[in-house]
Structure 1
């Protein structure tokens, strides 16, 4: 898949992690049904590889389904085998280089300018600014655009609907959202409540795009 084009088109990545694999799968399928095109299943969740396999079967080969918290070469190989179409890392790590070697696009976790340069050297397709809220929010993203004006940044970490709008308005290519969107759905919580949150986030993205 062309990850960068997908990020520019859809502008939001849903990040699913939970302690109940069946609930996590329901969460993925619910988000897809609500219109989320880019969905990441984090390896830090229970049974994540099985969730990816089952979601791939349910959503089909064209779905933009990825794997997150990919740290090692073994992680990259495992998620490719499970059916992930892209990889997300929390840092500049072995997972980046191995995923690229395997032909998977990578959203690489960065925090500092040094991280960004290191991720560029490994061939990252886009740059996950993480943890974004703790790094200084939209103001920090604006500062990074000084030395890196053309790089595709995706803020992740503490991004609620209001912050999603702010980051996108500040020039983020997309945002990654986890707990403020997923809530307890991936642990067995209400899918109706998840649907309501999903619509709030998608509305925030549309609002930011309308103001461009």
Structure 2
């Protein structure tokens, strides 16, 4: 490859908040009550996953409901058809758990940011050099924040978003190590999609927001 690949930046709201919440619900109809609480607590970026049935059908309505308040990305994108449908539905950004330059090229051509997953230096560099907006270090819990410091040696400019089992302390550690943002699921959401206490969810979300804001200063 000659020259530098075209790259679409992460949405400003997502980049500034430094926090992406990964929402995996049983049904897309369950999104809104949880998103209401998350947004009220200061969450500004949520990844809705294709493992939740009906996500793409409900995305346009959710975008209208939360217009101007939150970036709604679509995750677990694994092929070109899913990517095209997510773009058509209005996804603010795309996340894929795999490393494939073809999806990066397709998203970039559509003008939509994409964050591909990978763990090894080769996987992460393949996505980054193809023009990824950022690379998702997954599963981040298997390597720890020191891994990003090691990656900074050969890849000083890479934009990284760790994902997978990141709790409050690990979020702070990854951001301190140079992560652009952290992607958080279970440690923040807990049992919210299974009838859990939404007041407790709000408290957890606010705590993560505070950590990410503090790490930005």
Could you tell me how far apart the structure 1 residues matched to 2:67 and 2:151 are? 37
Map of 1:112 onto structure 2: 120
* Residue 4 of structure 1: how far off its partner (Å): 6.0
The match for 2:144 is 137
Structure 1 Cα separation of the partners of residues 27 and 150 of structure 2: 39
Residue 179 of structure 1: aligned partner: 186
TM alignment of 1:1-212, pairs within 5 A: 2-3=9-10, 5-60=12-67, 63-93=70-100, 94-134=102-142, 136-210=143-217
SS at match of 1:60: coil
Q: 1:51 to 1:192 in 2, by over 3 A?
A: farther
Distance in 2 separating the partners of 1:109 and 1:169: 21
More displaced 10-residue stretch of structure 1: 157-166 or 89-98:
89-98
**Deviation of the 1:61 alpha carbon:** 6.2
Of the structure 1 ranges 86-95 and 173-182, higher mean CA displacement relative to structure 2 is found in 86-95
Q: Tell me, what secondary structure is at the counterpart of 2:83?
A: helix
Per-residue CA shift, 1:119-164, capped at 9, x if unaligned?
Answer: 1232101111111111x10111111111111211111001011100
**TM-score between the two structures when normalised by the length of structure 2:** 0.88
Give the distance between the partners of 2:33 and 2:173, measured in 1 at CA: 29
Q: CA deviation at 1:106?
A: 0.7
Whether the 8 Å contact between 1:126 and 1:152 is mirrored in structure 2 is: yes
Cα distance in 2 between the residues matched to 1:28 and 1:186: 10
Q: Distance in 2 between matches of 1:47 and 1:189?
A: 22
Point out the more displaced range, 86-95 or 147-156: 86-95
Displacement of 1:29 in angstroms is 2.8
Moved more, 146-155 or 17-26: 17-26
* CA–CA distance in structure 2, aligned partners of residues 49 and 190 of structure 1: 27
Number of equivalences: 209
Conserved in 2, the CA contact under 8 Å of 1:138 and 1:170?
A: yes
With normalisation by structure 1, the TM-score equals: 0.90
- Aligned-partner SS, 2:216: helix
